[in-house]
Structure formats: structure tokens, C-alpha cells
Amino acid sequence: MQRRKVTLKLYPNAAQMAQLDAWTRLHCELYNAALEERIDAWRKAGKSISYYEQQNVLPQIKVDRPEFIALGSHALQQTLRRLDLAFAAFFRRVKAGQTPGFPRFKSSMRFSGFAYPDPAGWKLMQHGGRGATLRIGSGDAALSIRARGRHRFGGEAKPNDITLTRRNGQWFVSVTLRVPDAACARERTADMRRGVDFGINDWATFDAGPPIANPRWVRTELPRLAALQRERARKRKGSVRYKRLSRGIAVLHDRIVNLRRDFVHKETTKMVQSCAVIATEQLAPKTMSRSAKGTVDAPGRRVRQKAGLNREMLSAGFGMAHAMLAYKAEEAGTRLHLSHTRQLKPSQRCSACWELVPKTLAQRVHVCPHCGHTAPRDRNSALVVLIDAFNTQDTPGTGVAARPKPRPRQRGKSRSVTRETPTTAPSGA
């Protein structure tokens, strides 16, 4: 059995939306009270309170505050566990020397929602096609909310837990499904071997064939976004018009997110369905998009240009594409090869003679002074990672391509590290 998550949009009526908002306020109150208890216990007595100590107080809370009974014991426990995870992440960042980010009190309007960690207290009924009904609670006080959405796993998928989320005045439910391995399998239509180089000029460039253009969602909506932000800056903070414009900005950002996710889903699905081997480099968008501002003692250079480049890199969604390729390749039995970028240097290496040819970011054509090979820079990078996929020392390849010139191993350095999805036979093979 495997776990997959699917998100459905909810369509509550006015009374149901008011009830969901009231439940969210109660969960937010519990979260803030538990956070205050932990802070006071440490300040006054130097004592750390664990999740289990706070969980054991829930029965008494429900006696003193009967309105918490309708929320369900498991949902309340999940809210306390959410706070416990926030503290665990805080201490992990402290030990790692990162910016700690102490857990903060939350406003009820900024509290995203609540969750049911097991099948108790709710039921999801699918009505064929895209229609569904989510029933929360029991008895006369239960809510039956219309939902819209579907998944591809059929009737064998069993719901395991749900998370209700409020975003821009709309409600969504994310359902975790327990799915048999056979239902997860994807059917491949071809057995191509392709190298892929993700970039900004073109979203994806292959070793052969036309590239995939970059839609540039943020750049397209940037004039409208800037106009709304300028208009909001002229309004008094907290006024009705200020809040209305803030909602408009949030809706615009949400639209960009939805367009990006839909595009990446479709393109990664096409890649996986048509390829038996996909090779690309292991990117780190968080590191690549660091600010060039620098410090007071050592200020950075070309800060505005780097900020624009960072915006384009984050808008392209490279990290999202890698995550989707990983699980979709496993479902389709496709081998996904992620080359170690710093050791392989795909952008600087010649795919014909395997020599390093240093280039600046502005040089978009690869011209090798050693062998005379000329190719577009991104296509040359795609060829390099494809050759590396079949000639790694760590994981044996299945292809017949040979590296023209073996890369010498340098002393004192570790071997090239690659990550690959396990190769499984596609369904119907």
C-alpha cells in the first residue's frame, strides 16, 4: 500500500462556512493557549512541557468548555501535535545554527485550518465523476458539505486522514489515500532516453527535439500585481479598502500558484509517460535564489539584477518539477537520474570531449576550444547529464552510450553522488 494526497474544493453554504470558521477559531484558541502554557512554564519554573502532558488535559478542557466537544478528540490532539512539531523544528534550527524562528501566536484569520489524523469523525462519499460529499461530525450537528474533485486511483483507494484548509475565503480538503501498488502504476507510451536541462529562457531543454517554453507566470502578472500594491499603499492600513485590495493581491498570487502547479503536473506527466530514462542535474533552488545583498562590511554587487533572476528561478518551479518527477517515475517504472551538479558541472563540460569549458551565464552557446564542438548551452548540458546517467560508478546504467573520455577521479574527493528512483516494471509489461 502507498499513500497519495488529493485536494478537493469545498462548497459550504453560509451556515456551514460560519460553523467552519467557528471551529477554526476554537482550534486557534487551543493552539495559542498551549503555546502560552509552554512559554510561562519555562519562564517561571524552567520546565519544558511535552505534547503528552498537554494532551492529557484535553478531557478537562472539554468539561470546562463544552463547545470543544464538537471538534473531536483526535482533531484537538492534532492541533497540539502541530504546536509540538513547530517547537521541534525550532530546536532543530537552533542546533543547526540557522535562524531559529520561535513559534508565534496566531490570529484566527491567519490560522489555516485543522485536521483529522485518522478516519474517525468524518466520511468522504464520492458520487461518480467529480462530485463528492464530505460529512464532518455525527448526529444532528454533523455538516454535509459539497465537494468537487476526483482522483485516478479508482474505488480501491481508501481515505485515511483529511486536512481542511481556508485560503482566500475558500475552503479545501486534502485527503490522504491508501492506494494499492497496482492502482498507482502509470502506463508508459514510449521508451525514450532523454536528458533534461531546466532553465529560465526555456523551461526545459532536451538533448534532442524542441524545448518547452517558459510561461513566465509572474512576469505576465507583474504589472497588474504592482498596480494593486501601489493602490493598496495609498490606503489606510486596516481599512475596508485596504483589506479588499489585500484579498485581490492574495487571489492573484493564488492564481499564479495554480497555473504553475497545473503546468508542471502536465509536463512532468508527459515526460514520464514517454521516457524509460530521464536524466537531469540535482538543483538546489533555495541555494540558487539567495540574495546578493551581502552585509554592511561586505555589500553585494548587482543586487537588483540578482533579485530579478531569483524571482524568475522561483517562478519556474524547479523544485516542484523534481519532486513530481521522482514519484511519477517510480509509478511508471521510469529510471530518474539526478547528477551531482558540483562534481559533474554540466553547464561547463563539453559533451563531445568531456573537457571543462568555463562560461559566464551570459554565454548561451557552448564552443569547445579543445574539439571544436558547438551547441546551444542548455542542449549541451542535457547531453552531459544523459551521458552521465549511463556511466556512473555508483549505479550501473542500462544504456549503451559510452563516455567519450572517462573523467579522472581526483584524490581526496568523494565519488560522484547520484540519486535514482528504483527501477520497477510498468504495469502490463
Q: pLDDT per residue over 98-107, tens digit each?
A: 889 999 999 9
Q: Are 271 and 194 in contact (CB under 8 A)?
A: yes
Note the pLDDT of residue 140: 78
Note the pLDDT of residue 400: 31
Average pLDDT taken over every residue of the chain: 87
pLDDT surpassing 60 at residue 380: yes
Q: Which residues of 261-291 are buried (b: 16+ CB within 10 A; e: fewer)?
A: eebbeebbeebbbbbbbbbbbbbebeeebee
Percent of the chain with pLDDT over 70: 91
CA atoms of 9 and 12, how far apart (whole Å): 10
CA 139 to chain centre: 37
Cα 57–58–59 angle (5° rounding)? 95
Q: Which residues contact 17 (CB under 8 A, 6 or more apart)?
A: 171
pLDDT surpassing 80 at residue 43: yes
Note the pLDDT of residue 396: 34
For residue 146, the SS3 value is strand
Note the pLDDT of residue 421: 54
Note the pLDDT of residue 392: 52
CA atoms of 202 and 2, how far apart (whole Å): 34
pLDDT surpassing 80 at residue 420: no
How sure is the predictor about 1, in pLDDT bands with cuts at 50, 70 and 90?
confident
Q: Are 316 and 403 in contact (CB under 8 A)?
A: no
Note the pLDDT of residue 367: 93
Q: How are strands ordered across the β-sheet holding 192-198? A: 212-213, 202-206, 192-198, 275-281, 335-339, 419-420
Q: Are 234 and 276 in contact (CB under 8 A)?
A: no
Q: Are 184 and 153 in contact (CB under 8 A)?
A: yes
Give the DSSP per-residue string, 173-217. Answer: EEEEEEE-HHHH----S--EEEEEEE-SSEEEEESSSPPEEP--H
pLDDT surpassing 80 at residue 241: yes
Alpha helices in 65-111 (DSSP H): 73-96
pLDDT surpassing 60 at residue 410: no
Compare 314 and 418 and report the one with higher pLDDT. Answer: 314
- For residue 234, what are the CA distances in angstroms to 237, 238, 248? 9, 12, 15
How sure is the predictor about 423, in pLDDT bands with cuts at 50, 70 and 90?
low
pLDDT in tens, 127-186: 777 789 999 987 777 899 999 988 888 888 899 999 999 998 899 999 999 998 888 888
Continuous segment of H or E residues that includes residue 338: strand 335-339
SS3 content of the chain, % helix, strand, coil (to 5): 45, 20, 35
- In one-letter notation, the amino acid at residue 428 is G
Cell of 44: 517561571
- pTM for the model: 0.83
Q: Are 380 and 387 in contact (CB under 8 A)?
A: no
pLDDT surpassing 70 at residue 418: no
pLDDT in tens, 382-405: 999 999 888 754 433 333 333 444
